[in-house]
Structure 1
Amino acid sequence: MTISTVLILAIVIFATLIFTLTNGLHDASSVVATFISCGAVNPIHAISLAAICGFFGALTSGSAVANTVSGIVTIPTEASLLKVLLAAMIGAVVWNLITWKFGFPSSSTHALVGGLVGAVWVARGSDYILWGWSELIGPSHQLLGVTKIVAALILSPALGFIAAFILQLISNLVLRNANFSINNWIKKIQWLMAGLLAYSHGANDTQKTVGIIALALASASYSGGQAGLIWIKGFAGAVMFAGTLLGGWPIMKTIGRGIYTIRPIHSLNSQLSSGGCIVLATTLGAPVSTTHVVVGSVAGVGGADEFRMVNWKIGKEIIIAWCITIPASAIVAAMVFYLMRIVG
């Protein structure tokens, strides 16, 4: 590798880790939002739990999601791909910081996909993006590339809503004559559920970072084998850990208080449904937004309990996020790559 290639590779890895940090600010805050808002735990303990469990999730995650993310790009793994990846990550980071600042429940995965699409499109053209349309309408009806990611991002909040809605209806039936003191047990159980949700978040979201860094290393003709994969996961998990500890307080307030008045049983059912959805997505290799899944589950428990008391405007915000996040991050990434091309 030349010195310039090593330098660009280092910058790409650094930018990717910054993206992971902003991902921690975004999605990790949603993991503990209901846990805190229902009065089960104080914020410091909740954030610490999420950080630790998310870190172990990152270390023990597989590679299915990473393969899906890196598979979007069909450009040969050569040194020129490094500038494309750098522009993509800057586009994603900029959008994540903007939405985090304003407490907007955006998706880091949307931002990452948009950044990749925008940078690749400007660099090589749309033919070098695996859209997956032909596979979708073909005889195999496979979900690949961008179509697989978009489908997962759209369907996962809906699945979280349905699962939480059903769980809440069952809970209302089973606990209709329960004593108020049962809330103490529900709060204790939430420690386990919140830990599992944080673990599944770390396993799914860190793989997105692993996929990008692995692609960058391959472009620089570096292959560290299994040992290399472990240190990538370790770095990504550590940065996600730091991002979680910093806390995404604006987004936490939006989810924990802005959708529905959360009580312990609501929080527990939200955690169960969200965690189940994310584990399923990780197994299938589908990158999903933890924030959007949690928002869907909170709306689900509220809809089952008191439909009219749910702030359905948050659903509109998510739909807006679906519509603008990918184009916005794609535009930023395209502009960054264009500027790098001019500079030389």
Structure 2
Amino acid sequence: MTLLPSALRKRALDKDLKKIVALEAIGHQGGLRLVPLGLSLVFLALVFVMTAGQTGVDQGAWLIVAAAVIGGYMALNIGANDVANNMAPAVGARALSMGGALLVAAVCEAAGALIAGADVVSTVSKGIIDPAAVGDRGVFVALMMAALLGAALWLNLATWLEAPVSTTHSIVGGVLGAGLAAAGFGAANWPVMGAIAASWVVSPMLGGLAAAAMLALLDRLIIQADDRVAAARRWVPVVVAVTAAAFSAYLVQKGLSKVWRPPLWMLALLAAGVFAVALVAVGRLVARQAPALDNSKKAIGTLFTAPLIVAAALLSFAHGANDVANAIGPLAAIAAAVQGAAGAKVVVPGWIMLIGAAGISLGLALFGPRLIRMVGEKITKLNPVRAFCVALSAAVTVLAASALGLPVSSTHIAVGAVFGVGLARERHARRGGHIRRQARLNEAARATAIEDEVPPRATADGWLPGMEPDPAQDPLTIRKAAKRRLVRRRHLLTIAAAWLVTVPLSAVISAMLFLAMVRLVPGLEG
């Protein structure tokens, strides 16, 4: 039956309407993607206006204004890339929604930056490049501006590539590259750079091993117990109390070090007191919840949800207190240089701290979900227990490394912990599959022995004589078990490559920017 002309016109019209709807949807999505960019530009414009109002029109003020805008851009990229490591496990484990995680992280990051971050990072301004080797004030200002912008550009690219990298390594690479371009190889502190290079290997290995060990411990103590509820009542308070003690020490040592640095004995006493209080409080809470729980793994995992959220919040506070300096450290060094005190330690004005705190929080809210989904969902599947292991291992590993004087990166530790948990799951799944396969073969062997009236005499390991299962009899099962991967290798390779190129690439970008600045910008010539 042939279609009537009206029917043909109707079909063509339907197709055209579908195309129009599809184009409108694409345009709408494109418009939504432009919203974060527009808000970022508004933030940088506000930074420009605020800094101009603070510095006035004195000679050299324009350098501080330009540096403040670049520092705001760096803070946006820190929020977009680095904060994801703290919140990703909680989101991946469904302990927090994306909106809840963004809100908690933004508040805690800003609080950490404003309360405990008011100091210049001497390593950024003096530890990598000796200001005395630079000499000229204009060259030093150009060096710091190039380092800040080069590090920010690399972080922007890494976020677009969905690669969580170390913001500290980025700014260190930027200072190194611009410093080498300004003063040559003799101006660099190569022992410090060697320690940073060592952390590329040390940090993820420590984080991965610590997280895998904690997961194995919880699996043995609680998850594999016959009565999981009873095991949870016994061990969850202990584990959470250890976590509370570790995080209290972590918070004081890393997050509050700018305002309070107690001696080691006082830090240990504080941790012991927190452990005792948490043990009693959590024990009562778990005892109250236990009667309503069944014996499933999912039910037991709910006991770790609240500690996971608190751990993520404390990690964000400590991160804001420490890593805000990666944005405002070079900015403060530039302000000091313009005022004639290059390389000196200065007090950071409140308006500079506000730029760093607001920039990190806004960058997290606008661009953070991309990296949160990568770390929390795309590398491996997380539940509250696994995510809790990631958060706890991050705090414990940073504390232990600091006590031993090992150079580590909190970013590398956190991401390494996610990979460690995933690889431990792979090993456990393959081992479990092998045991189940052997059990099925053993049952078949026993059934055959009964049918053939063979005396069911078993050896010491439980197998019937002559009936031990041969792995070669089931090659398909072996191949499937060997190929079962619970960690996406392509993400592992991408992130590892990004870690390796962070310092050299930031250095190259910053060196090129420095050379361009001293040639093109008046007042920055050496």
Question: Fold conserved (TM > 0.5)?
Answer: yes
Task: Give CA-to-partner distance per residue, 1:194-248, whole Å, 9 cap, x none.
Answer: 1112122222212323432332222122679875365544432222122222242
Q: 1:104 to 1:225 in 2, by over 3 A?
A: closer
Return 5+ residue gaps in structure 1 as ranges.
133-144
* Letter of the structure 1 residue corresponding to residue 411 of structure 2: T
Report what 1:253 is aligned to.
373
Alignment check: 8 A CA contact 1:292 1:318 kept? no
CA distance in 2 between counterparts of 1:155 and 1:233 reads 32
Q: Is the alpha carbon distance of 1:65 and 1:260 closer, same or farther for their aligned partners in structure 2, counting shifts above 3 Å?
A: farther
Among residues 10, 15, 19, which one is paired with 2:74 in the alignment?
19
Match of 1:321 in 2: 498
Query: Cα deviation per residue 1:234-274 (whole Å; 9 max; x = unaligned)?
Result: 43222212222224222222211222111110011101111
Structure 2 vs 1, CA of residues 50 and 288 (structure 1 numbering), >3 Å: closer, same or farther? Answer: farther
Equivalence for 1:170: 217
- Distance in 1, matches of 2:163 and 2:113, equals 25
| 1:310, distance to aligned residue in structure 2 (A) | 2.3
Partner of 2:356: 236
CA contact (8 A) 2:119 2:348 kept: no
Q: Does 2:413 align with 1:293?
A: yes
Structure 2 CA distance for partners of 1:303 and 1:21, relative to 1, 3 Å: same
Q: For 1:13 and 1:207, locate their aligned partners in 2 and report how far apart those are by CA, in whole Å.
A: 13
Partners in 2 of 1:127 and 1:227 — Cα distance?
A: 29
Tell me the equivalent position of 2:382: 262
> What RMSD over aligned residues (CA atoms) do the two structures have, in Å?
2.9
> Partners of 2:340 and 2:110 in 1: how far apart?
25
User: TM-score when scaled to structure 2?
Assistant: 0.58
Change (3 A) 1:278 1:90: same
- Does the 8 A contact of 1:204 with 1:282 survive in 2? no
TM-score by length of structure 1 reads 0.86
Q: Which of 157, 167, 172 in structure 2 is aligned with 1:98?
A: 157
1:306 aligns with 2:365: no
- Alignment correspondent of 1:49: 104
1:172-200 C-alpha deviation (Å, 9 max, x unpaired)? 01112323322222112211111112122
Secondary structure, in 3 states, of the residue corresponding to 2:325? helix
1:72 to partner: Cα distance: 0.9
CA distance in 2, matches of 1:60, 1:21: 19
Larger Rg belongs to: 2
8 A Cα contact 2:79 2:361, kept in partner: yes
Q: Counterparts of 1:325-340 in structure 2 under 5 Å?
A: 325-340=502-517
Name the SS for the 1:306 alignment partner.
Answer: helix
Q: Helix, strand or coil for the counterpart of 1:213?
A: helix
On the 8 A contact 1:25/1:100 being kept in 2, the answer is: yes
Count of aligned pairs = 332
Question: Aligned letter for 2:520?
Answer: V
1:192 paired to 2:239: no
Deviation digits for residues 3-57 of structure 1 (CA, Å, limit 9, x no counterpart) = 4522112212321221121011001122111211111121011111111112222
3-state DSSP class of the match of 2:121?
Answer: helix
Residues 9 and 82, structure 1, Cα contact 8 Å, conserved in 2: no
2: CA distance between counterparts of 1:31 and 1:320? 21
Query: Structure 1 residues 82, 291: closer, same or farther in 2, change over 3 A?
Result: same
The residue type equivalent to 1:252 in the other structure is I
Mapped partners of 2:412, 2:89: distance in 1: 14
Q: Which moved more, 1:194-203 or 1:213-222?
A: 213-222
CA distances 1:138-168 after superposition (whole Å, capped 9, x unpaired): xxxxxxx323333344422222112111111
- 1:322 is displaced (CA, Å) by 2.8
